[in-house]
Structure 1
Amino acid sequence: MAQRHTPDGRYLVVRGRLWRAANPHLADATRQALVQQLMQARRDVKSAMASRDAARLRQAREAVHAAKTALGERGPVWWRDGARDYNRHLVRNTPYAGWYAGLEDDA
């Protein structure tokens, strides 16, 4: 099954697991700049791993974390209704289980 957003747009479902989606309230230019930063940081992680440079790797991973936090994928949740965060939970163990089961029935 392809990855999908939950009906409320808070998560992507990838292989049966919820991953917090980026904050949809970010301005397009801001989101684009943050995604570019994230992609560069991921390339830096790959390069640092290949060169076995522990200091560069730590710095690159910190940059990945910072970009993902700024996008709303990590850190405090971006929604304001007080709903619990189910990031990284198996969808079957969350309130989204019924919705997800319905998708599987449609496949």
Structure 2
Amino acid sequence: MSETGSVDDDRWLVINGRKWRRTDRALSETLVSRLKSHLGRGRSGVRATKSAGDEAAVAAAVAAARTRVGLAKHGLGERGPLWWDSPEKDRIARANEALRQLDALDE
């Protein structure tokens, strides 16, 4: 928290003047870790496929990687509805559903 200790410190992170939503603090460490693993794989997939040569394959791979990133960010509470506006049980359910969908991508 900042010296003022505002509520915003628990909800937002400022990096280079840009405001980013923090991960929902109600989520368990295990759930956050699993979602962040998917997030990392998605981001890596976007980077890797953008450097490939086949435009059609790159477009499809980038779309799939962005889907993974979006699901992970929504599960973490970093995108979508503001996590602090929802009951904790709904936030945890949303994160678990995102994880279920992400795991299904690997099947």
Report TM bin, short chain.
0.5 to 0.7
| CA-CA distance at 1:16 after TM superposition | 1.4
SS in 1 for 2:37: helix
Which residues in structure 2 correspond to 1:5-84 (within 5 Å)?
7-8=6-7, 9-52=10-53, 53-80=58-85
| CA-CA distance at 1:33 after TM superposition | 0.3
Give the Cα–Cα distance (whole angstroms) in 2 for the partners of residues 7 and 40 of structure 1: 33
Higher helix proportion? 2
Aligned AA (1:47) = A
| CA-CA distance at 1:15 after TM superposition | 1.1
Q: Deviations over 1:19-49 (max 9, x none)?
A: 1001010011000000111001111111111
TM-score, normalised to structure 2, is 0.66
- Equivalent pairs counted in the alignment come to 77
Q: Deviations over 1:49-78 (max 9, x none)?
A: 111411011110111111011000000111
Give the Cα–Cα distance (whole angstroms) in 1 for the partners of residues 16 and 46 of structure 2: 24
TM-score, normalised to structure 1, is 0.66
Aligned AA (1:34) = L
Q: CA RMSD in A?
A: 1.7
5+ residue gaps in structure 2?
87-107
5+ residue gaps in structure 1?
82-107
SS in 2 for 1:76: coil
Give the Cα–Cα distance (whole angstroms) in 1 for the partners of residues 80 and 59 of structure 2: 24
SS in 2 for 1:51: coil
**Match in the other structure for 2:89:** none
Please identify runs of 4+ aligned residues in structure 1 that moved more than 4 A: none
